[in-house]
Amino acid sequence: MQIQAVQETSFVEIQNILAKQRNFFLQGKTLEYSFRLQQLKLLKQIIKAHETEILQALKSDLNKAEFEGYATEVGFTYEELNHAISHLKSWMRPKTVWTPMTQFWAVSKIYPKPYGVSLIISPWNYPFQLLFAPLIGAISSGCTAVLKSSELAPATSSIAKKLVTKYFQPEYVALVEGGVETSQYLLQQKWDVIFFTGSTQVGKIVMQSAANHLTPVILELGGKSPCIVDETAHLDFAAKRIVWGKLVNAGQTCVAPDYLLVHESIKQPLVQKIIENIKKSYGDDPSQSPDYPRIINEKHFIRLTNYLKDGNIIFGGQTDINQKYISPTLLENVSPDSPVMQEEIFGPILPIMTYKNLQEAINFINSRPKPLALYLYTNSSENEKRILNYTDSGGGCINDCLVHLAPQDLPFGGVGDSGMGNYHGKSSFDAFSHPRGILKKTNLFDVPIRYAPYLNKIKLLKYFMK
Ligand code: NAD
């Protein structure tokens, strides 16, 4: 499949879709459990029926191997769908909470309510999953959705557009294609919730636009996720798992280990094992491996190759602009002030820094914006406790990387510069709902204490509210 550019959706059409969705939401159809369930099942059927085309589109956009495309995009979406299908009923159920004696007799309940018309903007790196996983949240919660796919992954955008247009009514779910201008136009409109996945820089623009309408936002952003390997770590497993986590999608993963912070005593053996594992996975020449993805476009290729100047290359460093290929590369002697250590790398380049004691590593991490993920390889429960207590990140793993995205019950999201709000599993349902708190009072009797004249009722009040 060779698709060079997305088919831009016109502004008139966007207005039309938005008006229709507002009207459709108010009709209340999305409030029904049966409707939501049916739509989730429909989404699964659609993906199943077009799985091959989706995987081909991912191959075309990013040279993703079928295995990788399935594991990280299509299969991942099935897991989210299965979880939502089996838990939807309990998520939708109003939850009774405690009511204080002062309100005797009453029942307090939290009713999850859909925000309404949602906008979902996605990036190019997991162009299928990052469009449809949030949609599962929108459907589960009873929102309508306008999806904005990434213009930089045109093949995936095209198949996504085809599927959404063919199987969903635009008043319920629609997909808008286009670049920055289209995205900006969308952001000028009034939405009931905006779910954005992308860079921290654009996340700020999204939040500023949303502020004009006081629209709640979920911002799934990026940043530099540190990966600490201490002197007690199981080096064989650490090396294998780091290589996997860094090179899936050629490092173009928001939660990829961005750089290593390694205890100086184990740097040499770790580097050796990392090199061995790169060769085991992708051969002596990864450009020939059918499993090694490519950089999304020339702009990002050039950005990445510039980082190669920021340290000493101890492994890799081969590039080919025609193929947008950058080999897995290890860098040492990098300055913390250099671009490769200041900007999110988002490619197959791994700077390796060392530390002498753990506090140094903690101080380094805490001197920087809060990362989306943090990884620690250790066999020391003391070190684990210190890192979990004294650093912060959206999420992370101990002795692995990336896989904290797999359990649906773990909320996934950032903190500080890496974003706000969470999703996956129940968190996706919550992201598109607001908890409406309702107290229902009995009509059998009426406790008179709260009404004036207060006389000496203060004593009674103090008995209940002490
Ligand atoms: P991006 O922020 O450039 O673009 C994301 C979306 O925003 C695209 O649909 C794009 O059309 C739109 N956009 C771009 N510039 C805009 C502007 N000025 N105004 C309005 N809209 C605009 O991000 P990207 O390059 O597509 O993706 C890479 C970034 O996304 C990385 O920082 C990565 O860490 C982050 N990311 C985060 C997650 C997560 O789950 N937290 C997942 C994947 C990617």
pLDDT digits (tens, 9 = 90+) for 12-39: 999 999 999 999 999 999 999 999 999 9
Annotated active-site residue 220? The verdict is yes
In a domain? residue 449:
no
In a domain? residue 1:
no
The predicted structure's pLDDT at residue 396: 98
Tokens 């896989």, residue located = 403
SS3 at position 168: coil
Interacting residues of 357 by C-beta distance below 8 A, sequence separation 6+:
none
φ and ψ at 372, to 5 degrees? -70, -40
* Same domain assignment for residues 261 and 373: yes
Cα dihedral 391, 392, 396, 401, rounded to 10, equals -50
Q: Whose CA is nearest to atom 35 of ligand 1?
A: 198
Q: What is the mean pLDDT of residues 405-432?
A: 98
Say how many Å lie between the CA of residue 345 and the centre of ligand 1.
14
Amino acid at 302: I
Atom of ligand 1 nearest to the CA of 222: 34
SS3 at position 221: coil
Atom of ligand 1 nearest to the CA of 124: 26
Say how many Å lie between the CA of residue 182 and the centre of ligand 1.
14
Listed in sequence order, the DSSP H helices in 142-229 are 154-167, 180-188, 200-211
Say how many Å lie between the CA of residue 443 and the centre of ligand 1.
53
Residue-range definition of the domain harbouring residue 209: 11-221+416-438
* Same domain assignment for residues 336 and 364: yes
**Substitution candidate for ligand 1 out of 130, 254, 345, 424 with most atoms within 8 A of CB:** 254
Check if the beta carbon of residue 187 is closer than 8 Å to that of residue 210. Answer: yes
For residue 288, pLDDT over 80 is answered with yes
pLDDT range class, residue 186, cuts 50, 70, 90: very high
The predicted structure's pLDDT at residue 200: 97
First to last CA, the chain: 71
For residue 3, pLDDT over 70 is answered with no
Interacting residues of 19 by C-beta distance below 8 A, sequence separation 6+:
none
* Same domain assignment for residues 370 and 254: yes
In a domain? residue 451:
no
Query: H/E element holding 62?
Result: helix 51-62
pLDDT range class, residue 6, cuts 50, 70, 90: confident
* Same domain assignment for residues 140 and 251: no
In a domain? residue 116:
yes
In a domain? residue 457:
no
List C-alpha distances in Å: 337 to 198, 308, 311, 398, 400: 24, 15, 11, 27, 27
Q: Whose CA is nearest to atom 17 of ligand 1?
A: 180
Percentage of the chain exceeding pLDDT 70: 99
In a domain? residue 3:
no
User: How many CB atoms sit inside 10 A of residue 89's CB?
Assistant: 11
* Same domain assignment for residues 293 and 379: yes
Q: What is the mean pLDDT of residues 279-300?
A: 96
* Same domain assignment for residues 41 and 54: yes
* Same domain assignment for residues 143 and 31: yes
Asked if residue 199 has its Cβ within 6 Å of ligand 1, the reply is yes
* Same domain assignment for residues 356 and 249: yes
Asked if residue 179 has its Cβ within 6 Å of ligand 1, the reply is yes
Say how many Å lie between the CA of residue 196 and the centre of ligand 1.
8
Annotated active-site residue 143? The verdict is no
Interacting residues of 360 by C-beta distance below 8 A, sequence separation 6+:
none
- The domain total for the chain is 2
Percentage of the chain exceeding pLDDT 90: 98
Asked if residue 21 has its Cβ within 6 Å of ligand 1, the reply is no
Say how many Å lie between the CA of residue 243 and the centre of ligand 1.
25
Say how many Å lie between the CA of residue 123 and the centre of ligand 1.
5
Asked if residue 195 has its Cβ within 6 Å of ligand 1, the reply is no
Looking at the DSSP assignment, which residues form a beta bridge with residue 441? Answer: 106
Q: Whose CA is nearest to atom 13 of ligand 1?
A: 180
* Same domain assignment for residues 79 and 193: yes
Distance CA 390, CA 392 (A): 7
Say how many Å lie between the CA of residue 239 and the centre of ligand 1.
29
Whichever domain contains 316, its CATH number is: 3.40.309.10
* Same domain assignment for residues 304 and 370: yes
Distance CA 312, CA 335 (A): 11
The predicted structure's pLDDT at residue 142: 98
For residue 455, pLDDT over 80 is answered with yes
The predicted structure's pLDDT at residue 5: 83
Q: What is the mean pLDDT of residues 309-336?
A: 98
Whichever domain contains 140, its CATH number is: 3.40.605.10
Interacting residues of 424 by C-beta distance below 8 A, sequence separation 6+:
80, 133, 405, 408, 410, 411, 412
Asked if residue 123 has its Cβ within 6 Å of ligand 1, the reply is yes
Distance CA 416, CA 235 (A): 31
Q: What is the mean pLDDT of residues 265-280?
A: 98
Amino acid at 136: I
Asked if residue 251 has its Cβ within 6 Å of ligand 1, the reply is no
Q: What is the mean pLDDT of residues 371-375?
A: 98
Q: Which two tokens stand for residue 86?
A: 């089996």
Distance CA 220, CA 428 (A): 12
Say how many Å lie between the CA of residue 285 and the centre of ligand 1.
31
Strand boundaries in 50-122, DSSP class E = 95-97, 106-114, 117-121
Asked if residue 197 has its Cβ within 6 Å of ligand 1, the reply is yes
The predicted structure's pLDDT at residue 25: 98
**Substitution candidate for ligand 1 out of 185, 196, 197, 202 with most atoms within 8 A of CB:** 202
* Same domain assignment for residues 409 and 264: yes
In a domain? residue 344:
yes
Instruction: Tell me the average pLDDT of the chain.
Output: 97
Q: Please write the tens of the pLDDT for every residue from 141-155.
A: 999 999 999 999 999
Q: What is the mean pLDDT of residues 440-459?
A: 95
List C-alpha distances in Å: 30 to 25, 120, 135, 303: 7, 17, 14, 44
The predicted structure's pLDDT at residue 120: 98
* Same domain assignment for residues 238 and 92: no
Distance CA 62, CA 376 (A): 29
For residue 268, pLDDT over 90 is answered with yes
Given 68, 220, 332, 344, the catalytic residue: 220
For residue 368, pLDDT over 80 is answered with yes
Asked if residue 198 has its Cβ within 6 Å of ligand 1, the reply is yes
Asked if residue 3 has its Cβ within 6 Å of ligand 1, the reply is no
List C-alpha distances in Å: 243 to 50, 206, 248, 255, 257: 31, 33, 8, 13, 9
In a domain? residue 462:
no
For residue 253, pLDDT over 70 is answered with yes
Query: What secondary structure does DSSP assign to 344-363, as a single string?
Result: ---SSEEEEEEESSHHHHHH
Given 143, 227, 254, 397, the catalytic residue: 254
Tokens 């999703």, residue located = 423
Q: What is the mean pLDDT of residues 346-360?
A: 98
Q: Please write the tens of the pLDDT for every residue from 87-135.
A: 999 999 999 999 999 999 999 999 999 999 999 999 999 999 999 999 9
Query: H/E element holding 244?
Result: helix 235-247
The predicted structure's pLDDT at residue 4: 67
